């Protein structure tokens, strides 16, 4: 049983007027007055009663409108003024209709928000308010404590305040990168050598260079790489990325205000792949193959292939020669003593055995000469048939001796054969030349045997004249030091064969023979290692004692110095070379010699490895079960079955690296495989 | 024939396509290291303005602008789209700057109220049509009063018969208050409120003590109560249909205000980001 | 502040007085677009009129004092002069007046007249900008009027085209009448009364029947003088003078009938020769069922629980022999069929529809004739023309058949004829090639529509309560376009979850007009779609329209005086406040059609045309 509520008859139901802002206050009570409030929300209850009585004959008649309940029973007062009966409704307080109230709500909230904003922007806390997010921990110092004005420390007009910000927002001037990144560069110099503008450039390189590289890369771009679908699509949408010639702002990669724990340095691969025109999916999918093998050190010649498996593995492992340097990034080669000596030197003093005897180097031997008039010369003991090359070298340092040597080594004449030369001197009747030679030799001996500082000095000068390089040249010093060590031996030599040399050189009269000196014995000492005096032949010789022999090494280096062709020096050197060929070869077998440079040590390789790609050995070493596993990356040519080496020259017996050897571990879900794991954007500038 | 369901599917599909397009577009900006946030921001602003225009359209009733219903369709689906873009803009995380946080909250409330609105405007009308007699919201108090007066009339009658005061007492104790205004509104959103059920059962219970005529009156009274209950039912639902806009619309404008400030700041501080 | 409040109240208290409007406040002769033509009829003219036919023949004593013929003539007629070629009425217009030729002659042009020649002009609307501005400077209070323009204030201040006469309609000049007439091949034989001599009456059809002018009539004489009669006047004259009444009826057979018949697509399709037409017309019987003011009885029975069918006179009964093709000329018929013991309504027919077509088509040269499949009742009031079966089979059917063989008349067209009159196809398959008729919506809804005579509406406001959020945007939109006044109420009869809101339906048969003493309520003319509108200036607030509207869609309001602090206007004599009738005007003054429909955000509100069953059912089945 329902109760009918709404009559729709036009008499029963007037227009509902939701468009009227004001509704009668009595509506809430369920009986609004027919008339309703006026347009400004005032109750019209009083007005409804009002009428202006009309005179009809004698009586006044109420003219209250039908809309207000028609004429009132009592009618107007006799004098014709409206008696104004109390209205059916008491005066009400009209209320806004729901719609109007909604409008008010809108306005109020708007005003509220506006006020709030004013308060926030107006107060001293404005900067903390507008701060879009905490700076990363490294920069917190810049952000400073609350309420400190410091936006300006990075943002131009950051401290200018709201009004300026508004201006800036609507000013059309486009801020250039430099301004934005200037603040960064104040602290972070990518490369002190680089100007601010340059620092912003892509890879810090000159745009033209980048273009070349890009084109080159595009030409070489590997077609079969799996490309990044999404990147392709966005490429289609965006077209190829073009970076403005003034480069990138720091902020375009290093986003700030991401909270304290935000890592400014973290980059996703996209940061790289966005620009790199042939975007591939990831390091694991589509990364171009490596073009280089392990970097070769040109210094020490070492054929890994020959050594591998040649000896028992525990005797010879990668680790027995290679060790990570202190940074752990690179692998160094251990010095000879620790790597090679084990096999290549028995450690006994005389490891050269007979072999060495043969090629002991003759250093000093007085030649056999006869003089017409008597001269101070140990005729009986001077039995040399030729000038030992090394001695000749030292003679070259004697200005008076140069001409003699030239005549001795004159190709048309004696051609270095001393005996021949002596005959020649007879024939040409120039006996005084012999005296000159003897004299030069005596001077040499005295020089060599002078163990004083001055002696060393003299010797150095003499040598410098001989090989005409300045006295304090490192190679020369090394050589002369070796001679200094021998000065004691030389003294003995002098005291044995030319005891009165000093007097003789002073021009005093000395007797030809002086046997009484011959009792004196040979004394050997540690400093004299390798030096030997052959009393029967009156010969001072030297044999290299151990690996890295100073004399030999320095001599080899001196040999590299080029000298005028045909000159006595040239000839002499030639002789020396012939004489020492074998000895030299023993060294150059390992110590390669390149354009006048002899590599004594394994020159360091970090220089050669591009700074753009980095690799750190140490973490990988920890992964290795046994050292032999180095081969999992460093594949030897010989053991390289089925590995194709198309046009990639193998280095020192190693095949070029294959990215597979990396991707086996550096894969999603395993080890980090992001671009920046190997590549460092700011490290090296392409040129 | 153009049915609502077909229209809905069309709209949903097409807006999904549009959404997809926008997503790819913005994402590609992100990948290409262009300023995706900036982009999404501008898109968002544009959408917000379009959405706000709906309100303006409602005010401009006469110039032959597009039909309001079509506007609403766009309003709803663009609303969803805007929400998506908003998430792109905020990069799916809550900002940690004070200003941005406030803006974020306002926007979220706005979106939520909008979503609520969509469902309310689709669900409640059916309920309204299915129960009680159709009444104009503004007139409900009038009808309540009408019922109350009827009830009073009946009660007086009952007294008239034989001076039994059972019904009149009952009226004074419980009925009058129930009939004097809306009651149990929150409860009614879900189901009939306790008070109503109680009254009905009490009325039934009374029958035992009542004479023939009084029983008849009691029945009429329960009918009145029933009707009043329906009125409340309409009152609360129509109320909801009107009042959710009290959240949605005011928030719109304060959101725009905050967005403006946000925009200005971004512009002023965006040096270096180009 | 307080002081201001007092003052304010005082202001709204001051009364603004206005004489109680009466029927003849504004004589017809004053209700003209251009000042020049406005002139009251002189006594001599009245005398002359009374001596000339048909008035001379009238028995003046039959007329009540209040409605003396002389007064009727004085107030409800006007004398108008036309030059040769002036269009008096143009086909398609809605006219509220009839014409009596006093001098010269006129010609009816059935066809061949280019509409543009009639200088049809768009009804004056607000410019878009205008509407926009109006929205923002609407008065604060409801029902505020610019009383200065009310005739009661001062007759001189009458507004041009006050009663909606299209400005300049009377001065449309049709170039070179003879040629125009030649355009139609047999112009002069087209209808006997093509040339209308002095003394003949025309335009009465559309005036009385509230239908469009069927023909264009042009003045064919340099000095044509016509007596234009308001339909209210004519109605009264007919009421008390039988002769005139019969004359008018006869006139209909002669002028109107052919037009009416041709208005029906099915008959037009049969394209008959003029001779055949004449035959058809000669034999056609036209009958009127129900009462001209059916709404009265309708409102009575609506309340009581009486079977409406019993109240509706039967036009043709199911099961009977189809004795002819029934063409609905005006009003509506209810279609029902036996369903067990009771009859179920399944459709209705309106103006221009035919009934009995399938049966007739089927019965053509068939041994056992198929009886009528449905019952046709007069829903309220129905004017029909009945064409006997014989005539149909002899003249019309061959025409149709020929047309169909020529391919001009598609079967679906025939189907269309049948569909327009019912949702449900007849039970037995008459014409296998007929298109399948879909059962589009709940028969109970159909019942409901016919029951409440809602099929009358062409712009019925239907609200789908399952979608309507009761936001009142429609009402507010409406108000914004009508000086801050809604013109409908968002309540009304409900069936299922559909509400027929109390907004003017702009009926096919606007019974509201019938009672109107001043013709303030009228159909828009010219290009107007014939919306039913009320001219606020001539409305006297008698409330007869509101009373006669069966749908309670017209509301009387107390008006306020703009020029006097929007105070309520009252009649100083009896302290009655001045009321005016108001209703939906379908936003004729604005662009873009009814604002309510456009303002509804939820597709809940629609103005539906009950004649278009397809659209209606589409809407129901959304």
Q: Which residues of C touch B124 (CB under 8 A)?
A: 469
CA pair distance A561, A583, nearest whole angstrom: 18
- CATH number of the domain where residue C389 is located: 2.60.120.10
Give residues with Cβ within 8 angstroms of C330, minimum separation 6: C209, C210, C211, C351, C381, C382, C383, C509
Decide if B2 and C618 are in contact by the 8 Å CB cutoff. yes
Domain boundary (C433, C453, C485) is at C433
* A133 reaches B (C-beta below 8 A): yes
Task: Please tell me whether residues C289 and C415 are part of one structural domain.
Answer: yes
Q: Tell me which residue of C334, C336, C322 sits closest to C387, measured CA to CA.
A: C322
**Residue C335 phi/psi, 5° resolution?**
-105, 125
Confidence band for A203, pLDDT divided at 50, 70 and 90: confident
- Cβ contact, residue pair B267, A28, below 8 Å: no
Most confident of A208-212, A487-491, A663-667, C293-297: A663-667
Quote the distance between the C-alpha of residue C360 and its chain's center: 31
> Which alpha helices (H) appear in C204-356, and where do they start and end?
204-209, 231-240, 242-251, 257-263, 265-269, 274-283, 294-303, 308-311
Task: Classify residue C501: in a domain, yes or no.
Answer: yes
User: 10 Å Cβ neighbour count for A351?
Assistant: 14
Residues B221, B150 within the same domain: yes
Which positions in chain C touch B249 (Cβ < 8 Å)? none
Residue C368 sits in the same domain as residue C392: yes
For B154, the domain range is 137-240
CB pairs under 8 A between A and B: 182
Q: Do the chains contact at A17 and C558, CB–CB below 8 Å?
A: no
User: Which B positions 62-121 lie with beta carbon below 8 A of chain C?
Assistant: 62-65, 67-69, 71-72, 121
Cα separation, C404 vs A416, in Å, equals 139
- The dihedrals phi and psi of A262, each to the nearest 5 degrees, come to -80, 130
Is residue B191 predicted with pLDDT exceeding 80? no
B63 and A CB contact within 8 Å: no
Place of tokens 């004795």: C323
* Chain Cα centroid distance, residue C30: 24
Q: Which residues of A touch C (CB under 8 A)?
A: 6, 8-10, 13-21, 35, 38-40, 42-44, 46-48, 50-52, 54, 61-68, 70-71, 99
Which residues from chain C sit within 8 angstroms of residue A10, using beta carbons?
A: 502, 546, 549, 552-556
More confident residue, A255 or A593: A255
Question: B61 touching C, CB under 8 A?
Answer: yes
Q: Which residues between 15 and 54 in chain B have a beta carbon less than 8 angstroms from any beta carbon of chain A?
A: 24-25, 27-34
- Cβ atoms within 10 Å, residue C205: 25
Chains that touch A (3 or more CB pairs under 8 A): B, C
C-beta separation of C558 from C550 below 8 A: no
Please write the tens of the pLDDT for every residue from A614-654: 788 888 888 887 766 787 888 776 644 444 444 444 456 67
**Residue C218 and residue C276 in one domain:** no
Interface of B with C in 20-49 (CB under 8 A): none
Q: Please indicate, yes or no, whether residues C368 and C496 belong to a single structural domain of this protein.
A: no
For chain A, say whether C60 makes contact (Cβ under 8 Å): no
A62: closest chain C residue by CA: C575
pTM beyond 0.80: the answer is no
Distance CA A647, CA A656 (A): 10
Helices (H) and strands (E) in chain B, counts: 10, 0
| pLDDT tier at C444, thresholds 50, 70, 90 | confident
Q: Is C39 within 8 Å of C29 (Cβ atoms)?
A: yes
Quick check: C556 and A8 CB within 8 A? no
Residue C360 belongs to domain spanning: 265-433
Whether C137 is covered by a domain: the verdict is no
Coil vs helix vs strand at C293: coil
Residues B126 and B256 in one domain: yes
**Domain identity same for C426 and C458:** no
In terms of domains, do B12 and B125 share one? Answer: yes
Please report which confidence band the pLDDT of residue A292 belongs to, taking 50, 70 and 90 as the band edges.
low
Q: 């084990």: which residue's tokens?
A: A342
Same domain, B234 and B265: no
Q: In terms of DSSP bridges, do strands C144-145 and C560-561 run parallel, antiparallel, or are they unpaired?
A: parallel
Of B96, B138, B271, the CB nearest to A155: B271
Q: CA-CA-CA-CA torsion for C571, C573, C574, C580, nearest 10 degrees?
A: -20
Query: A56: which chain C residues are within 8 Å (Cβ-Cβ)?
Result: none
C614 touches chain B (CB under 8 A): no
Number of domains chain B contains: 2
* End residue of a domain, out of C393, C410, C433: C433
**Average pLDDT for C260-272:** 76
- Position B54 pLDDT exceeds 60: yes
For the CA atoms of A614, A617, A618, A623, the dihedral, rounded to the nearest 10 degrees, stands at: 120
Taking phi first (over 0 means left), then psi (-120 to 50 degrees means alpha), and beta for anything else, what does residue C79 get?
A: beta
Same domain assignment for residues C330 and C422: yes
List the single residue in B with minimal CA-CA distance to A274: B32
Q: Which of C325, C307, C480, C343 is nearest to C417 (CA)?
A: C325
> Three-class SS of residue C216?
strand
One domain for residues C408 and C464: no
pLDDT surpasses 90 at C553: yes
Chain A environment of C480 (Cβ under 8 Å) = 19
The arithmetic mean of pLDDT across residues C291-307, rounded, is: 66
Q: What angle is formed at CA B29 by the lines to CA B24 and CA B33, rounded to 5 degrees? A: 145
- What local confidence, expressed as pLDDT, does residue A468 receive? 81
Q: How far apart are CA C566 and CA A288, in angstroms?
A: 87
Q: How many domains does chain C have?
A: 3
The pLDDT of C487-515, averaged and rounded, is 89
Question: Which residue, C17, C140, C79, is CA-closest to C572?
Answer: C17
- Residue B116 C-beta-side C-alpha neighbours within 13 Å: 15
Residue C420 has pLDDT above 50, yes or no: no
Domain endpoint, select from C433, C456, C486 = C433
Q: What is the mean pLDDT of residues A467-489?
A: 84
Cβ neighbours of A64 in C, within 8 Å: 575
Strands C144-145 and C314-316: unpaired
Identify from A4, A5, A17, A44 which residue to disrupt to test chain C contact, counting C C-beta atoms within 10 A and taking the largest count. Answer: A17
B260 shares a domain with B124: yes
Contact across the interface for C476 and A10, Cβ inside 8 Å? no
Range with lowest mean pLDDT among A468-472, B87-91, C348-352, C569-573: C569-573
Given CB atoms, is C476 within the 8 Å cutoff of chain A? yes
Answer whether C473 sits within 8 Å of B68, measured CB to CB.
Answer: yes
Instruction: Please indicate, yes or no, whether residues B109 and B164 belong to a single structural domain of this protein.
Output: no
- Angle, nearest 10°, between helix axes A162-170 and B212-269? 80
| Least CB–CB distance from B32: residue in A18, A177, A241 | A241
pLDDT band at A78 (very low <50, low <70, confident <90, very high): confident
- Is B204 in the same domain as B257? no
Distance from CA of A104 to the nearest CA of B (A): 9
Q: Is the pLDDT of residue C179 over 50?
A: no
The minimum CA-CA distance between A245 and chain C, rounded to whole Å, is: 53
Lookup result for tokens 């209320």:
A95
Span B172-200, average pLDDT: 80
The 10s digit of each residue's pLDDT in A560-608 is 777 777 777 788 778 777 777 777 777 777 787 766 677 777 664 444 5
C584 part of a folded domain: yes
Say if residue B59 is in the same domain as residue B172. Answer: no
**Cβ neighbours of B265 (radius 10 Å):** 23
* A146 burial via Cβ count (<10 Å: 0-12, 13-18, 19+): exposed
Q: Which two tokens stand for residue B32?
A: 């290409």
Q: Residue A520, CB half-sphere, CA atoms under 13 Å: how many?
A: 17
pLDDT, one tens digit per residue, over A379-436 is 777 888 888 888 888 888 888 888 888 888 877 777 778 888 888 887 877 778 888 8
Q: Identify the bridge partners of residue C230 per DSSP, sorted by sequence position.
A: C97
Chain C nearest CA to B30, separation (Å): 38
Above pLDDT 70, what percent of chain A? Answer: 77
The better pLDDT of the pair A124, A302 is held by A124
Q: Find the helix packing angle between B68-89 and B36-59, rounded to 10°.
A: 160
CA distance B230 to chain C (A): 16
The closest CB to that of A67, out of C5, C476, C568, belongs to: C568
**Inter-chain contact B264–A169, Cβ cutoff 8 Å?**
yes
Regarding whether C474 and C605 lie in a shared domain, the answer is: yes
Residue C232 and residue C280 share a domain: no
Tokens of C62: 């039959």
Site of tokens 């290409």: B32
B124 plus B145 within the same structural domain? no
Residues B143 and B99 in one domain: no
Q: Is residue C16 part of a domain?
A: no
Q: What share of chain B is helix, strand, coil (3-state, %, to 5)?
A: 80, 0, 20
Question: pLDDT per residue over B246-269, tens digit each?
Answer: 999 999 999 999 999 999 988 888
Assigned domain for C3 exists: no
pLDDT mean across residues, chain A: 76
Q: Is B126 on the interface with C (CB under 8 A)?
A: yes
Q: How far is C24 from chain A (nearest CA, A)?
A: 24
Tell me whether B53 touches chain C (CB under 8 Å): no
Interface contacts A/C by beta carbons within 8 Å: 119
C544 Cβ under 8 Å from any chain A Cβ: no
Distance of CA B246 to the CA centre of its chain: 9
Task: For residue A259, list chain B residues with Cβ-Cβ distance below 8 A.
Answer: 96
CA distance A341 to A547: 9
Same structural domain, C280 and C206 = no
Average pLDDT of chain C is 75
Q: Which chain B residues are closer than 8 Å to C490 by Cβ? A: 136
Both C204 and C350 in a single domain?
Answer: no
CA A361 from chain center: how many Å?
A: 48
What is the least distance, in Å, from the CA of A39 to any CA of chain C? 5
Contacts by residues B203-208 (CB-CB < 8 Å, ≥ 24 positions apart): B203/B170, B206/B166, B206/B167, B206/B170
Best mutation target, C469, C482, C495, C587, to test chain B (most B CBs within 10 A) = C469
Contact C564, C14 (CB under 8 A): yes
Coil, strand, or helix at residue A382?
Answer: coil
Count how many Cα atoms sit within 13 Å of the Cα of residue A97 in the half-sphere of its side chain: 21
Which of B32, B253, B272 is facing A110, going by the closest CB pair? B253
The minimal CB distance from A158 to the residues B28, B254, B269 is found for B269
User: What does the alpha-carbon distance between residue C440 and residue C618 come to, in Å, rounded to a whole number?
Assistant: 8
Q: Does B220 touch chain A (CB under 8 A)?
A: yes
**Extended strands (E) in C459-549:** 460-464, 489-495, 498-502, 521-523, 532-534
- C-alpha A67/C-alpha C578 separation (Å) is 9
Q: What is d(CA A593, CA A599) in angstroms, rounded to the nearest whole number? A: 6
Same domain, B106 and B17: yes
* DSSP assignments along C574-611, one per residue: T-PBPEEEE---TTTTSSSS-HHHHH-TTS-EEEE-TT
**CA-to-CA distance for C517 and C496, rounded, in angstroms?**
38
Two tokens, residue B268: 């002023």
Question: Do C608 and C469 share a structural domain?
Answer: yes
Per the CB < 8 A criterion, the answer to whether C328 and C348 are in contact is no
Position C169 confidence tier, pLDDT thresholds 50, 70, 90: very low
Q: What DSSP string runs through A597-659? A: EE--S---STTTS-SSB---HHHHHHH-SSGGGGGGTS-BSTT--S---TT---BTTBPPP-H
Domain assignment of residue C171, yes or no: no
pLDDT tens-place string over residues C611-620: 777 788 888 8
| Interchain CB contact of B261 with A (< 8 Å) | yes
Contact residues, A window 2-21, toward B, CB-based 8 Å cutoff: 2-6, 16, 18
Residue C255: what pLDDT? 67
453-512 of C, contacting B, C-beta below 8 A: 465-471, 473, 476-477, 480-481, 490-491, 494, 497, 499
């Amino acid at each position: 049983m329902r109760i009918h509520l709404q009559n729709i008859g036009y008499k029963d139901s007037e227009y509902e007027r939701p468009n009227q802002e004001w509704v009668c206050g009595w509506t809430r009570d369920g009986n609004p007055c027919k008339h309703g409030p006026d347009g400004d929300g005032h109750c019209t209850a009083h007005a409804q009663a009002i009428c202006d009585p009309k005179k009809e004959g004698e009586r006044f008649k109420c003219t209250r409108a039908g809309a207000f309940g028609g004429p009132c029973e009592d009618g107007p007062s006799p004098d014709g003024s409206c008696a104004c009966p109390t209205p059916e409704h008491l005066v009400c307080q009209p209320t806004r209709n729901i719609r109007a109230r909604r409008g008010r709500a809108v306005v109020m909230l708007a005003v509220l928000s506006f006020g709030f904003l004013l308060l926030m922007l107006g107060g001293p806390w404005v900067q903390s308010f507008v701060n879009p997010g905490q700076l990363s921990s490294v920069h917190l110092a810049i952000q400073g404590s609350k309420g400190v004005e410091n936006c300006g420390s990075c943002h131009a007009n950051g401290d200018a305040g709201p009004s300026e910000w508004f201006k800036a927002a609507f000013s059309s001037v486009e801020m250039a990168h430099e301004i934005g990144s200037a603040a960064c560069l104040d602290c972070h110099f990518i490369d002190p050598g680089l100007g601010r503008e340059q620092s912003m450039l892509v890879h810090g390189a000159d745009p033209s260079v980048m273009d070349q590289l890009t084109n080159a890369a595009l030409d070489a771009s590997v077609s079969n790489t799996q490309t990044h679908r999404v990147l392709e699509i966005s490429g289609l949408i965006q077209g190829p990325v073009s970076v403005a010639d003034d480069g990138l702002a720091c902020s375009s990669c290093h986003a700030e205000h991401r909270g304290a724990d935000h890592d400014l340095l973290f980059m996703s691969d996209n940061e790289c792949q966005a620009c790199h025109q042939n975007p591939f999916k990831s390091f694991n999918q589509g990364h171009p193959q490596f073009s280089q093998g392990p970097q070769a050190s040109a210094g020490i010649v070492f054929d890994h292939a020959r050594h591998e498996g040649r000896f028992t593995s525990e005797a010879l492992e990668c680790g027995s020669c290679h060790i990570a340097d202190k940074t752990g990034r690179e692998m160094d080669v251990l010095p000879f003593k620790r790597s090679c000596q084990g096999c290549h030197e028995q450690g006994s003093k005389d490891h050269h055995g007979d072999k060495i005897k043969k090629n002991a180097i003759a250093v000093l031997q007085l030649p056999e000469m006869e003089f017409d008039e008597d001269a101070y010369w140990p005729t009986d003991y001077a039995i040399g048939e030729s000038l030992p090359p090394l001695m000749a070298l030292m003679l070259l340092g004697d200005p008076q001796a140069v001409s003699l040597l030239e005549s001795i080594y004159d190709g048309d004449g004696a051609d270095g054969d001393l005996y021949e030369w002596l005959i020649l001197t007879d024939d040409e009747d120039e006996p005084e030349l012999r005296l000159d030679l003897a004299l030069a030799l005596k001077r040499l001996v005295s020089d060599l045997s002078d163990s004083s500082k001055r002696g060393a000095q003299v010797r150095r000068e003499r040598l410098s004249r001989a090989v005409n390089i300045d006295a304090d040249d490192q190679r020369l010093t090394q050589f002369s030091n070796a001679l200094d060590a021998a000065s004691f031996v030389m003294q003995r030599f002098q005291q044995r064969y030319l005891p009165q040399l000093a007097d003789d050189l002073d021009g005093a009269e000395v007797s030809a023979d002086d046997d009484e000196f011959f009792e004196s014995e040979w004394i050997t000492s540690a400093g004299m290692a390798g030096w030997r005096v052959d009393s029967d032949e009156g010969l001072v010789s030297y044999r290299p004692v151990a690996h890295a022999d100073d004399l030999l090494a320095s001599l080899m280096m001196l040999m590299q110095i080029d000298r005028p062709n045909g000159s006595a020096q040239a000839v002499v050197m030639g002789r020396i070379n012939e004489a020492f060929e074998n000895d030299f070869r023993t060294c150059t077998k390992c110590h390669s010699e390149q354009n006048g440079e002899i590599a004594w040590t394994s020159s360091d390789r970090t220089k050669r490895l591009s700074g753009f790609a980095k690799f750190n050995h140490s973490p990988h070493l920890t992964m290795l079960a046994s050292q032999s596993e180095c081969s999992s990356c460093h594949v030897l040519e010989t053991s390289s079955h089925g590995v194709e080496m198309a046009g990639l020259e193998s280095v020192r017996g190693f095949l070029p690296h294959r990215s597979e050897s990396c991707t086996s571990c550096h894969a999603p879900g395993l080890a980090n495989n992001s671009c920046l794991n190997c590549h460092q954007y700011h490290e090296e500038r392409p040129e | 024939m153009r049915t609502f369901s077909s229209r809905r599917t069309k709209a949903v599909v097409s807006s999904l396509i549009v959404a997809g397009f926008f997503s790819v577009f913005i994402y590609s900006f992100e990948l290409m290291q262009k300023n995706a946030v900036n982009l999404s921001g501008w898109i968002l602003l544009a959408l917000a303005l379009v959405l706000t225009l709906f309100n303006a359209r409602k005010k401009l009733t006469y110039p032959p602008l597009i039909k309001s219903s079509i506007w609403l369709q766009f309003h709803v689906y663009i609303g969803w789209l805007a929400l998506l873009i908003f998430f792109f803009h905020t990069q799916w995380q809550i900002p940690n700057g004070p200003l941005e946080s406030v803006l974020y909250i306002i926007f979220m409330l706005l979106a939520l109220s909008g979503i609520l609105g969509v469902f309310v405007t689709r669900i409640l009308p059916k309920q309204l049509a299915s129960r009680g007699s159709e009444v104009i919201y503004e007139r409900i108090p009038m009808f309540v009063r009408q019922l109350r007066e009827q009830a009073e009339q009946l009660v007086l009658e009952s007294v008239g018969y034989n001076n039994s005061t059972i019904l009149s007492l009952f009226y004074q104790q419980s009925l009058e208050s129930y009939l004097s205004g809306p009651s149990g509104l929150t409860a009614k959103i879900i189901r009939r409120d306790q008070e109503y059920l109680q009254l009905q059962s009490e009325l039934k219970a009374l029958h035992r003590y009542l004479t023939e005529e009084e029983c008849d009156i009691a029945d009429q009274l329960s009918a009145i109560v029933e009707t009043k209950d329906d009125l409340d039912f309409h009152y609360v639902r129509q109320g909801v249909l009107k009042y959710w806009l009290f959240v949605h619309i005011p928030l719109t404008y304060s959101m725009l205000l905050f967005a403006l400030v946000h925009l200005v700041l971004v512009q002023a501080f965006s040096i270096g980001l180009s | 502040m307080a002081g201001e409040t007092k003052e304010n109240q005082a202001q709204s208290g001051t009364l603004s007085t206005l004489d109680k409007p009466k029927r003849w406040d504004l004589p017809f002769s004053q209700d003209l677009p251009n000042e020049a033509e406005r002139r009251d009829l002189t006594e001599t003219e009245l005398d002359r009129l009374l001596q000339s036919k048909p008035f001379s023949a009238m028995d003046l004593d039959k007329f009540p004092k209040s409605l003396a013929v002389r007064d009727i003539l004085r107030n409800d007629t006007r004398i108008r002069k036309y030059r040769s070629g002036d269009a008096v009425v143009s086909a398609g217009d809605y006219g509220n007046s009839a014409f009596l030729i006093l001098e010269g002659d006129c010609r009816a042009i059935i066809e061949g007249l280019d509409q543009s020649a009639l200088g049809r002009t768009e009804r004056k609307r607000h410019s878009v900008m205008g509407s926009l501005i109006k929205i923002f400077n609407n008065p604060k209070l409801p029902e505020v009027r610019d009383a200065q323009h009310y005739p009661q204030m001062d007759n001189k201040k009458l507004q041009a085209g006050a009663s909606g006469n299209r400005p300049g309609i009377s001065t449309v000049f049709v170039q070179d009448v003879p040629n125009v007439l030649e355009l139609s091949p047999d112009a002069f034989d087209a209808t006997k009364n093509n040339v209308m001599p002095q003394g003949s009456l025309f335009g009465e059809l559309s005036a009385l029947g509230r239908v469009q002018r069927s023909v264009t009539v042009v003045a064919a004489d340099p000095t044509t003088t016509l007596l234009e009669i308001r339909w209210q006047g004519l109605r009264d004259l007919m009421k008390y003078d039988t002769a005139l009444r019969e004359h008018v009826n006869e006139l209909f057979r002669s002028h109107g009938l052919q037009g009416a018949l041709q208005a029906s697509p099915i008959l037009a399709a049969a394209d008959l020769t003029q001779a055949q037409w004449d035959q058809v017309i000669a034999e056609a019987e036209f009958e009127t069922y129900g009462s001209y003011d059916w709404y009265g009885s309708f409102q009575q029975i609506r309340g009581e629980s009486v079977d409406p069918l019993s109240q509706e006179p039967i036009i043709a009964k199911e099961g009977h022999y189809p004795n002819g093709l029934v063409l609905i000329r005006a009003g509506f018929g209810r279609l029902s069929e036996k369903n067990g013991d009771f009859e179920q309504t399944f459709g209705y027919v309106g103006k221009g529809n035919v009934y009995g077509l399938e049966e007739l088509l089927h019965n053509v040269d068939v041994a056992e004739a198929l009886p009528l499949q449905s019952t046709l009742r007069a829903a309220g009031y129905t004017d029909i023309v009945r064409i006997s079966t014989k005539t149909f089979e002899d003249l019309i059917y061959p025409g149709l058949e020929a047309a169909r063989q020529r391919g001009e008349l598609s079967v679906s067209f025939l189907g269309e004829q049948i569909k327009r009159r019912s949702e449900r196809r007849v039970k037995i398959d008459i014409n296998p090639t007929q298109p399948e008729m879909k059962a589009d919506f709940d028969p109970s809804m159909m019942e409901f529509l016919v029951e409440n005579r809602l099929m009358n509406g062409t712009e019925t406001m239907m609200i789908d309560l399952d979608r309507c959020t009761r936001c009142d945007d429609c009402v507010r939109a409406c108000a914004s376009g009508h000086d801050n006044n809604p013109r409908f109420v968002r309540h009304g009869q409900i069936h299922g979850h559909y509400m027929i809101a109390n907004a003017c339906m702009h009926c096919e048969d606007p019974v509201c007009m019938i009672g109107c003493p001043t013709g303030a309520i009228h159909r828009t003319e010219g290009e107007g779609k014939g919306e039913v509108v009320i001219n606020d200036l001539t409305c006297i607030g008698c409330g007869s329209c509101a009373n006669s509207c069966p749908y309670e869609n017209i509301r009387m309001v107390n008006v306020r005086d703009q020029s006097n602090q929007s105070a309520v206007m009252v009649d100083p004599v009896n302290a009655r406040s001045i009321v005016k009738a108001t209703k939906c005007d379908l936003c004729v003054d604005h662009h873009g059609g009814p604002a309510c429909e456009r303002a509804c955000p939820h597709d809940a509100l629609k103005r539906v045309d009950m004649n278009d069953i397809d659209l209606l059912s589409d809407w129901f089945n959304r």
